Chains A and B, each alone.
Chain A
Amino acid sequence: MPLSEKDFPVEERSLGNGLQIRLLPDRSLPVCTLYSFFRVGSRNERPGITGISHLFEHMMFNGSKKYGPKEFDRRLEAAGGTSNAYTSNDLTAYYEDFASEALPLVLDLEADRMASLLIDDVSLVRERDVVKEERRFRTDNDIDGMLDEALGALAFLAHPYRWPVIGWMSDIESITREECERYFRAYYAPNNCTLVLVGDFEPAAALREIERLYGRIPAGDGLPKVAAGEPPQKGERRAVIRYPSQAPAMLAGFRGPGGRDPDSLVLDLIEAALSAGEGARLKRALVYEQELCVDAHVYFAWRMDPGLFEISLKLNPGVDPQRAEGALWAELARVSDEVMSERELDRAKNLVRSQLLRSLATTNGRAHTVGQMEVMLGSWRAMLDLPDRYAAITAADVQRVARKTLPPHRRNVVTLIPGEVEA
């Protein structure tokens, strides 16, 4: 059953400068969420300035012409709101959740920083230190983070997905103010942004305000070309990390399709069959039956360019990684070699459908989903027929996509072995 447009009466507008606007009124609670999606992420970077997209996300909170340093969040919180942002390989998203009375202020804050962000050396130095702490927290002292970073560098030779979103430490340390300014001019123009407003507001009035505040911001030049090429993988690749951990761990990745490729929906179902819920194949086999792992988890996200289908194993202390790997490969081979039963396929479809519905349960969730569909799939309307597209996937599709995506020669494997590297 598709989602009904009647339940999601999204209004679509765009301004002369190219800003895309999506409005979804919902008066059930006196709150709103505003998302600003910029089509820029780590794939738009180059060696030497890796991490600039993420560093820039931090810089966006350091003041603009009308609202000086510290003012953005101070004004927002004083009006009953909060903000945050995230950067991915493909995009940077900023959001504000707020009491609906604060809408004029929130639009003014966002428009002002798009029009006139202040980038100074003092805030750059300070924010660089903050980001380095974030990197130490998420990567240098975090097993999942260090595995993920190593996997990207292993699986991609040429594509920008090769480096971590947070960037290499040496690059974070050396990015200059001039590079930030160039980045802002290139990517933070209205024609590279989709604005999504959801919640308790009057659409005509909100649109008038958006036009007034954003309409004067000039469009940017075309976006620099992304070096998106990647040679085919001709054999398994491996890397080993030694770290004084309690137990071994493993992260495997297979290069899959891009987000707009219909096969990505099939991989969503394979992900659910393998790791969503305690009865999923990997959980059942590796965690419960063979007792090899504390956790077995699959992660597949839609990407602009062909991204990774990742499998993470957190091994029980003392388990031989080779044994766990063998069990993993056997489970993946089953997906390729055997036809998935209708019952199991239905289970996966139901789990994915429920996940989509739950993502629409909050104001922030609806705004995020509308924007993500717009940026990643080309239109928010993609979410309406997603349930039908999942429903139409057959067991033969699952087998075909598994065979194409998960053969042994496409493996990239990073293993973490407890122990220290001798100095």
Chain B
Amino acid sequence: MIAHDVELPPLQIEKLPSGLTLLAVQKRGLPLFHVRLSLPAGACEDPRGKAGLGHFTVELLRRGTRRRPAQDVDEMIESMGAQLFTDVSMEEGALALTVPAELSERALDALLEVALEPAFEESEVAAARRRTIAALHSDLDEPSNVAGRAVVSLGYGPGHPYGHPAQGFRRDVDTFQREDALSFHATRFQQQGGLLAAVGQSTPQELIELLKRKLAQWESSWPGRSQRSALQFTALAPSLATRAVIIHKPDATQAQVRIVAPGLPRSTPRHAEAVVANTALGGGFTSLLVDAIRVDRGLSYSVSTRLHMNRRAGLSVFSSFTKNDTLRELVDVALETMRAYAAAGPTQDALEKARRYLAGLFPLGLESHEALAEQIADALLDGLGLEHLKTYRSRVLAVTAEQAREMAAELSPARDGALLTVVGEAEAARRELNGLCPLEVRQLEEFA
């Protein structure tokens, strides 16, 4: 029997009067120390017309501080054997470092200096702008990357806080100035809503004391308090009928396929039901869709459905790819399989398999220093609490057939109003999809 609850390692959480949450996790074993700073500086915070500003600002942090130029920042971090990890999700901007345990104080100093005292030199801002635009251009060469950008842009739609990729669009990045980065940093790098996590060999109490001591040393470097207006999250409006957008990639011999429909936010009380229902449909290697598309027909190497669960809204996304002349077959099989699943839900065997698969593998997501910090930080910042992790197994194991069936219908990417996105050679795709639904051809460059 799979144990029902997960035992988290010794940890301590403390919320400071400033609004910053401290998290300390004791992890014995390898002599490593990990620190992660998460701030409410995600892509959803990008100002209107400035898509990608959060990502741009976070990437600029390492390009020089008030104390040292970019080259010396790299030296400060990489001489410890570490590489600065940066990530901008829809909700947060995060910076993290993993170093040998004996370098914990140096790592904290380095991370806080980079996060709190960026120089944003004019020349570095201009160079970063050129680099980002070149990278956005270059990313068009990866069809799966273009498909991912299209899912977010078209799935949430323009104007939605989640309606752009974190890296933004070339047209917006082109306008970024030093003042934009300064303003984003001043208003989003706030203790309120942020979290500083440490994972190491010391006791949680010792780690908390270390974090407090270091924060005291860097207290004056935080931007002053700032009030921001709340983001407006309107419900995703379902379309009336299925439609298709083909993004033309010249010379492509394979088409990337995504089918997108509104999903659920991460905070849904029915999280476990949603994850179980999705796993039976398109998770793992034995899902209905893997059987129908890969195992039975050899149409693709990869097929999955995934729930993009952000804090306040989400998407339900089918992903696969196939050669140009089997595009229609793949889409037809996918839609047919997903519609049948939406109507009937999982079989008892499939339900049981999905539950045990999720429960059995869950502890693996909490193994490394980095994973522990990220998973616990996300659970706390999303307002789910530690219980979300501790009781994950018992919750997924308790999902009933009825609950899974309801969720299968509610989350199906194939329901009316779904968006079919294809990245591939336009004429070939148009021929294949002819008669399926209204088609629109867009150019690759629109998604840079």
Contacts and interface: CB of A to CB of B under 8 A. Distances in A.
B300 A133 contact: yes
Contact of A81 (B84, B142, B361): B361
Contacts of B180: none
A131 B83 CA distance: 35
A13 B78 CA distance: 40
Interface residues of B, number: 70
Interface string A281-315: 00010011001001000000000000000000010
Interface in B279-295: 284-286, 291, 294-295
Interface string A121-165: 000011111111110110011110000000000000000000000
A217 B143 CA distance: 45
B141 A420 contact: no
Interface in B52-102: 62, 70-71, 74-75, 77-84, 98-100
Contacts of B32: 357-358, 361
12 contacts: A77-B356, A78-B356, A78-B357, A82-B284, A130-B298, A136-B323, A137-B254, A276-B78, A276-B83, A317-B138, A350-B81, A363-B367
Contacts of A420: 250-251
Interface string A236-250: 000000011111000
B388 interface: no
A80 interface: yes
A78 B254 contact: no
Interface string A312-338: 001011000000000000000000000
4 A-B pairs closest in CB distance? A80-B360, A279-B74, A129-B298, A350-B81
Contact of A29 (B137, B141, B252, B367): B367
A376 interface: no
B279 to A, nearest CB: 9
A291 B367 contact: no
B285 A73 contact: yes
B2 A101 contact: yes
B229 to A, nearest CB: 35
A346 interface: yes
Contacts of A128: 298
Interface of B: 1-3, 28-32, 62, 70-71, 74-75, 77-84, 98-100, 127, 130-131, 134-135, 137-138, 140-143, 250-254, 284-286, 291, 294-302, 321-323, 349, 352-353, 356-357, 359-361, 363-364, 366-369
A17 interface: no
A353 interface: yes
Contact of B83 (A294, A351, A364): A351
A128 B301 CA distance: 10
A343 B131 contact: no
Interface in A17-50: 28-31
A349 B99 CA distance: 13
B367 A361 contact: yes
B253 A140 contact: yes
Interface residues of A, number: 72
Contact of A362 (B62, B131, B360, B364): B364
B364 A126 contact: no
A347 interface: yes
A246 B138 contact: yes
Nearest to B82: A354
A99 interface: yes
Given A80-B356, A102-B360, A361-B30, A137 B302 contact: yes
A361 B200 CA distance: 12
A276 B323 CA distance: 36
Contacts of B352: 78
A317 B357 contact: no
Contact of B100 (A31, A247, A316, A354): A354
B232 to A, nearest CB: 35
B246 to A, nearest CB: 16
Interface centre among A279, A350, A420 (most CB of B within 10 A): A279
A12 interface: no
A185 interface: no
A128 B298 CA distance: 8
Contacts of B291: 70
B359 A99 contact: yes
Given A133-B300, A294-B138, A353-B81, A279 B75 contact: yes
B116 to A, nearest CB: 19
A129 B296 CA distance: 11
B71 A82 contact: no
Contacts of B364: 29, 31, 97, 362-364
A97 B254 CA distance: 32
B250 A30 contact: no
Nearest to A143: B141
A28 B62 CA distance: 36
A404 interface: no
Interface centre among A243, A280, A360, A361 (most CB of B within 10 A): A361
A277 B300 contact: no
A343 B74 CA distance: 13
Contacts of A377: none
Contacts of A82: 284-285, 357, 361
Contact of A133 (B2, B299, B353): B299
A142 B284 contact: no
A83 interface: yes
Contact of A77 (B74, B134, B285): B285
A278 interface: yes
A77 B357 contact: yes
Contacts of A83: 285
B363 A30 contact: yes
A74 interface: yes
A129 B323 CA distance: 10
Contacts of A30: 3, 363
